[in-house]
Amino acid sequence: MSFKARIKETANRKDSRIVLALDFPYQPPENRANVFARAQSVLDIVHPYVCAVKINHHLILPLGTFDGVQQLVGQVHAKGLLAIMDAKVNDIGATNQVIADYYFAAGFDAIIANPFVGWEEGLKPLFEVSRRLGRGVILLAYMSHKGAHEGYGQTIIDAETGERTSQYVSFAKKALKWGADGVVVGATYPQKIAEIKGILGETVPIYSPGVGEQGGTAETALKAGSSYLIVGREITHAGDPAQAARRLLDSIKGV
């Protein structure tokens, strides 16, 4: 079963379209044990309200891929959830392949990559590894921060058609062409979500970060066409992360 199918099944079973971004502020290296304990604690109390967990450098850097994060990924799986590595892969193909090999060896079910690097000797090896192992690739299409327009929003000349188009439109079309398992479009840009949804239809699901502290709203993103919400600080920085996750989940029931 593909990652796209597995996360849909998990979301239906959990009755949740929330992906928990397990992100925490910087801690000095000597507090490494505290970072692991905090991540484990949030996962333990929040897992009933989410369908997957996204991990990035907030945990990889202090804990290490195999020393700590692999243990967390195992706990994610034990709770019936999927694990996404937010590596934003963006290098030459040989390096991308090694990145994918290591993260998939650590147990991740999918990896996020940046289509700016292109296909040949770019993301092609990463897709090949993911397909061989039955894992998923999610592409960035339009990020959630304010400066996203400087890259993803720029106007380009389509290499195949010679027509002027937006970079994010090109990336959405590449997601279809390359067979991606999803694209990331910030919840802070609902118009972009709707436009990209019009390109992808039901073939490639949209993952939307930026709910809460960055100004995006869950209901607006879902109504615009998002399939999943990636939520971090709104939950992980809350005084009661479980209550925050439950409140968010309740707010999107029926949307």
Tokens of 252: 């999107």
**Considering only the top CATH level, what class is 3-251?**
alpha beta
Q: What is the DSSP letter of 102?
A: H
Decide: helix, strand or coil at residue 215: coil
- Count of C-beta atoms within a 10 Å radius of residue 114: 20
At residue 36, the pLDDT reads 95
**Are 154 and 197 in contact, with CB atoms under 8 Å apart?**
no
Residue 195 has pLDDT above 90, yes or no: yes
Residue 255 has pLDDT above 90, yes or no: no
Residue 213 has pLDDT above 80, yes or no: no
Ordered DSSP codes for 150-172: GTTT-EEE-TTT--EEEHHHHHH
Nearest residue to 230 via CA among 255, 195, 205, 254: 205
- CA–CA distance, 129 with 54 (Å, rounded to integer): 20
Domain ranges of the chain: 3-251
Reply yes or no on whether 88 is catalytic: yes
pLDDT tens across 217-229, in order? 999 999 999 999 9
The single-letter code of the amino acid at 56 is N
**Are 54 and 20 in contact, with CB atoms under 8 Å apart?**
yes
With cut-offs at 50, 70 and 90, classify the pLDDT of residue 37: very high
Residue 103 has pLDDT above 90, yes or no: yes
At residue 29, the pLDDT reads 85
pLDDT tens across 142-159, in order? 999 999 999 999 999 988
Contact residues for 191 (Cβ-Cβ < 8 A; gap 6+): 224
Catalytic residue selected from 88, 124, 174, 223: 88
Q: Which residues are paired to 83 by β-bridges? A: 53
pTM of the full predicted structure? Answer: 0.96
